[in-house]
Structure 1
């Protein structure tokens, strides 16, 4: 059994795999969409709480 020097960065132990740039962009876009949907949901909750407080305090 002979030892040889690594011929490329992927031959080294612990080298990071090369990711497809399009897959990375798609994952970032998905994460951004999920984050924005979560923020929108939280905003709607805040608006709903505010409207409930206004209606409860109104003398109807």
Structure 2
């Protein structure tokens, strides 16, 4: 039977475990786009991007 890789030498294994533990989701992005859609309705179409970004940051 082969000897396992020493603890200090299994960097790839540690990296793989960290990467695979990330749960991919886009709920945050969807929420922001929903808020931005509400802010850019027919009455508010003349907002500049900077103003829209500031409002969204305050809202969230």
TM-score over 0.5 (shorter chain): no
Q: Which has the larger radius of gyration?
A: 1
